[in-house]
Structure 1
């Protein structure tokens, strides 16, 4: 089949990473990707093109629809005559879905990547688009892919047509995300850390959704309890230029413990260097990639109970309530105690974390599920 994917943007993010893995690894179908926005920086566009995927940009400004962009998308769809149009994220679901319908495409599938949106935290325009999509969900798309059970549950209560929803969990290339002591040593040498230093980490951009300040408050409690550790923060704006973050780190007496690494592309290296990965998100997650990526590298996780994080972790890590620094600190302390205890017990936990990803979230399983949806078979 010929599949046109319409996505809001191709900047580095969870949905964009899944789209890249799907298109670059699916050998049975032809994939074409259309971004509503421009090429941007730190984006997946060049990576897609490098593996032979055609990429088109509509050059719409963020959160704005242009007539020229809509016309370009309509012409692309009419000229390329796809068997399926698969859209990704709310704005692309709305715009891509309507234009594909007008262009005569019958096989239109949406893709929901969020679990919750909150007024005052999420953009008002995004919430309005979500509400409009809910009204159109009964007749515009043939099916709706949700990356998480929580996403399906929440969107059904918001008015989406639950009968059209399918769950396809994210899938991971386990030849890339795997245990590698050599990569772990390389990362620790880069940070000039001793082998016995307990290294925590969190990969995720600086954003209220990720609740980095709550993370720091929890770590302050962990430090007060007498634990020694280092924490590396990886993601956009996690650098010394972030004045608010630096002030919070100083306020909580964590200057010696925190290592700011900003954006990095070598996430398997980072995950292998960590003893424990943390996710402090307060809301908005659906299927947090970083949790599964860490586990695939044999790194146990302490995560807040957001989206499908608890489902991913199972009994291989620790799950605590969101936006609760005291409970998060308890989870981190429990993980640090076990990490510093019996080596065999800790190795068993590491192996269990990777095995859970292998058995439930492999890349081929995700690709096969998309094939079934596109053939109209569901999953």
Structure 2
């Protein structure tokens, strides 16, 4: 079955990484995948091409979608002749869905990968596209896939047809993300820290939804209680050139020496395996990949109740209210002060939870079964 995946862009991000993992595990004897990026290939495009899967790009700029893009997409889809189109993220849902319908392809599946639609945490252009998609959801997609239950509820509340929305969670490769004792020592050596220095990790691109500035407040509070703790922040834009982040850190005397800003990294599994605990201070998430990755590495996680974060960590971590950085700091302190064997046991429970609920082979099978059901519908 020919399946075309349309995504807004292929820079490093949760949705893009999940698409890559799905394509790594899709049964190529049953499916013939092709990818279209409305923008460019980013960092993930070449990885998809390395799997032998064609990647087409259209060079769209950020902002409100250009209606002419629909015609360009339609021409490309006429050439590809897919049996099914699966769009990922709002702009590709809108443009890809319209383009597919122009070519006569009725089997369009939309993708929802976001759960916070507040006016203060989203661009007006994004919310405008969401509103338009809500109105078009009655007829444009035949089905809608969400990566989280919270995202399904949020979008149904703003007008998406709830009966069309189905949930398939993100999946994780437990061979790629795994405990690694050597990583623990090597990262501390890289950072010039003692072998036993407690490390709290945050792995996320710099974005208002991820709440890095709020985490700085939590870090300062935690440092006052645990003077030996260090914080490792990695992700696009999370580096020394980030003026807003640097200013927030400088506002807390003594914090700078304990805050390590690594920027975008290609060794995330190594970083995860080196942390003692992962923090997720987000305002908004759907199904955050970073939690499954950290848990697969045997880490307990302390998270805000954003998206499906609480459901993902279950009893293997701690959950606080969104925006409550004081309690986040307290919970991080409690986890760090657990006896080593108790923290290790929590980490093992976390890895087992990922293995049972979110292993990538199982999740890819759910996608494939869903595609075959949609293709069989008249």
Indicate conservation of the 8 Å contact 1:3/1:30, yes or no: yes
**What does residue 273 of structure 1 align with?**
274
Distance in 1, matches of 2:248 and 2:60, equals 36
Residue 38 of structure 1: how far off its partner (Å) = 2.5
For residue 319 of structure 2, what is the aligned residue in structure 1?
A: 319
2 CA distance for matches of 1:321 and 1:190? 34
Q: What is the aligned partner in structure 1 of residue 220 from structure 2?
A: 220
Query: For 1:137 and 1:302, how far apart are their aligned partners in 2?
Result: 35
Contact persistence 2:97–2:140 (CA under 8 A):
yes
The residue that corresponds to 2:299 in the other structure is: 299
Q: Does residue 32 in structure 1 map to residue 34 in structure 2?
A: yes
Quick check: 2:171–2:363 contact (8 Å CA) kept in 1? yes
* TM-aligned CA deviation for residue 226 of structure 1: 4.0
Query: What does residue range 1-379 of structure 1 map to in structure 2 within 5 Å?
Result: 1-27=1-27, 28-40=30-42, 43-66=43-66, 69-253=69-253, 254-282=255-283, 284-338=284-338, 341=339, 343-376=340-373
The answer on whether the counterparts of 2:281 and 2:325 sit within 8 Å (CA) in structure 1 is no
Q: Which stretch has the larger CA shift, 186-195 or 354-363? A: 186-195
- Displacement of 1:67 in angstroms is 5.6
State whether residues 64 and 126 of structure 2, in contact with CA within 8 Å, keep that contact through their aligned partners in structure 1: no
Q: CA RMSD in A?
A: 1.5
SS at the partner of 2:106? coil
Tell me if structure 2 keeps the 8 A contact 1:89–1:111.
Answer: yes
Pairwise CA distance, 1:64: 4.1
Given that 1:221 and 1:326 are in contact with CA atoms closer than 8 Å, whether structure 2 keeps it comes out as yes
Give 3-state SS (helix, strand or coil) of 2:139's partner: coil
What runs of 5+ residues in structure 1 fail to find an aligned partner?
none
Task: Detail structure 1 runs of 4+ shifted over 3 Å in the superposition.
Answer: 64-69
TM-score normalised per structure 2: 0.95
Structure 2: how far apart are the matches of 1:100 and 1:227?
A: 57
Structure 2 distance, partners of 1:209, 1:265, is 22
Q: Aligned pair count? A: 372
**1:67 & 1:318 partners in 2: Cα distance?**
45
Instruction: Calculate the TM-score normalised by the size of structure 1.
Output: 0.95
The 1-side partners of 2:59 and 2:244 are apart by: 32
Q: Aligned equivalents of 2:293 and 2:161: distance in 1?
A: 31
Q: Is the CA contact 1:24–1:53 (under 8 Å) kept in the aligned structure 2?
A: no
Unaligned runs of 5+ in 2: none
